[in-house]
C-alpha cells in the first residue's frame, strides 16, 4: 500500500471542520449546481461576463423565479461556482469548468442519471456485497445484464462515462497491442466491440475473438458489421462469473480493458487463471485499466476512487477501482509475471503486460 494524503499538510482544525461540512452537504450542493447548469443559469452568467447580473435582472427573463435563483445561486456561491460583487452574480472558475469541461459534465450526468438514487442503498450494498441500489434502474442481478436495456437518460450517461475513459486511450495503444505481431487476439469483456473494431482496422491480418455476455456481443456484432470487419471476428458468448467456462485457447494475445474492475478479487483470480491457460506458449496478456495509485495528478485519483461506490451499489456489489498491485498479485497467483507497465495513456489509463511465468 502506497503512502497517500489528499488533505493539505498544514490544515487547521477549523479548516478540517469546514471540509467536513462540505461532505455533509455534498448531495445538496451537487443537485443545486446541476440545476444551475442544466437550467441555463450558469450559461446566462457566462454570457453576462465580468459585470454579472442581479437576481432581479435574471428573473426578468421569465426563465426562473427570484426564489429559485436565490436558493440555487446561493448554494453555487458556497461551492465556488459563482461569486457576488456589488450584489451581482458572476461565473467563477469552478462554474466555468461545469459549463465547459467535458469530463466534469460526463461525471455529473453519470452520477445523477446512473448512481444517485441507487447510492441511497450503499450501506445495504456494502453489507451484503450485492448491488442492491441497482433496483433504482431495473431488476437484474448485476448492471452488466441490463446495459442494453437501460432506460434513458441512464443508458446514454453510462456509455458516455465508459467510453470517455476508454476512447481517449484506444488510438495510442495499438502499437503496444501489436508489438509482438500477434495473429490471434482475444478481447475479453468486449462490450460494444469498440476495441475490436479499432484493432481489426489497424491490422488487416489479425483474427479477433470477442468474449462477453450474449447481449453485449449482439451489440458488438452490429458494430463489427457496420465497420465492415465482421468476417475476421469470432464471438464467444460467455458468463465469465462461471469459473467452469474455459476461454478459447491458443491466443497470441489476450486483451482486457476496463474489465477486471467489474469483478471481485476471487472472480478476477479465476478469470486470470483461465486467461493464462488460454495463452499460446509465447502469448501475452495486456491489461489496460484505471489504477488510482498510478495517477500523476490527484484529480484523476479522486475521480477513480469515488467511482468504486458505483460498482458496489449499482454494478456488481463486490468490485471497485483497484490498485495496480492487486492485479499483479492475482496475476502472479495465476502463473503470470509482469513484464512491463506503462502509465499516462489517455485520460488516466495504465497498461500492464504479462507473460507466463517460467
**Is pLDDT of 168 > 70?**
no
**pLDDT tens across 87-130, in order?**
999 999 999 999 999 999 999 999 999 999 999 999 999 999 99
Residue 1 scores a pLDDT above 70 = no
> Tens of pLDDT along 253-284?
999 998 999 999 999 999 999 999 999 999 99
Question: What CA–CA distances, in Å, run from 112 to 157, 160, 180, 356?
Answer: 9, 13, 43, 43
- What whole-number percentage of the chain has pLDDT above 70? 99
pLDDT average, residue stretch 325-330: 96
Averaged confidence pLDDT in the chain = 94
pLDDT score, position 336: 97
Grade residue 192 by pLDDT with cuts at 50, 70 and 90.
confident
pLDDT value for 25: 97
Using CB atoms within 10 Å of the CB of residue 351, give its burial: 0 to 12 exposed, 13 to 18 middle, 19+ buried. buried
pLDDT of residue 97: 97
Position 163 scores a pLDDT of 80
The pLDDT assigned to 147 comes to 85
The model's pLDDT over 56-66, given as tens digits with 9 standing for 90+, comes to 999 999 999 99
Amino acid at each position: 500500500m502506497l503512502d497517500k494524503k489528499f488533505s493539505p499538510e498544514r490544515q487547521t482544525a477549523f479548516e478540517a471542520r469546514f471540509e467536513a461540512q462540505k461532505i455533509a452537504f455534498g448531495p445538496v450542493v451537487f443537485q443545486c449546481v446541476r440545476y444551475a447548469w442544466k437550467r441555463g443559469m450558469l450559461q446566462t452568467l457566462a454570457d453576462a461576463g465580468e459585470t454579472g447580473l442581479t437576481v432581479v435582472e435574471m428573473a426578468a427573463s421569465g426563465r426562473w423565479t427570484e426564489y429559485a435563483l436565490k436558493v440555487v445561486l446561493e448554494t453555487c456561491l458556497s461551492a465556488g461556482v459563482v461569486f457576488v460583487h456589488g450584489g451581482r452574480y458572476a461565473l467563477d472558475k469552478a462554474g466555468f469548468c461545469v459549463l465547459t469541461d467535458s469530463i466534469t459534465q460526463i461525471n455529473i450526468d453519470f452520477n445523477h442519471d446512473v448512481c444517485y438514487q441507487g447510492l441511497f442503498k450503499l450501506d445495504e450494498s456494502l453489507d451484503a456485497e450485492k448491488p442492491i441500489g441497482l433496483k433504482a434502474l431495473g431488476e437484474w442481478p448485476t448492471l452488466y445484464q441490463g446495459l442494453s436495456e437501460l432506460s434513458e437518460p441512464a443508458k446514454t450517461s453510462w456509455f458516455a462515462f465508459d467510453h470517455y475513459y476508454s476512447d481517449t486511450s484506444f488510438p495510442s495503444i495499438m502499437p503496444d497491442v501489436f508489438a509482438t505481431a500477434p495473429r490471434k487476439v482475444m478481447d475479453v469483456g468486449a462490450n460494444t466491440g469498440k476495441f475490436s473494431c479499432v484493432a481489426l482496422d489497424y491490422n488487416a491480418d489479425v483474427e479477433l475473438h470477442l468474449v462477453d455476455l450474449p447481449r453485449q456481443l449482439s451489440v458488438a456484432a452490429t458494430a463489427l458489421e457496420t465497420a465492415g470487419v465482421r468476417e475476421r471476428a469470432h464471438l464467444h458468448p460467455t458468463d465469465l462469473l462461471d469459473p467452469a467456462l474455459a476461454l478459447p485457447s491458443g491466443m497470441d494475445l489476450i486483451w482486457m480493458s476496463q474489465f477486471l474492475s467489474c469483478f471481485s478479487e476471487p472472480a478476477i483470480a479465476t478469470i486470470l487463471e483461465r486467461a493464462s491457460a488460454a495463452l499460446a506458449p509465447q502469448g501475452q496478456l495486456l491489461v489496460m485499466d484505471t489504477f488510482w495509485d498510478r495517477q500523476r495528478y490527484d484529480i484523476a485519483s479522486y475521480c477513480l476512487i469515488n467511482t468504486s461506490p458505483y460498482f458496489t451499489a449499482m454494478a456488481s456489489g463486490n468490485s471497485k477501482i483497484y490498485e495496480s498491485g492487486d492485479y499483479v498479485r492475482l496475476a502472479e497467483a495465476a502463473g503470470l509475471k509482469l513484464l512491463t507497465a506503462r502509465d499516462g495513456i489517455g485520460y488516466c489509463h495504465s497498461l500492464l503486460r504479462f507473460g507466463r511465468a517460467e
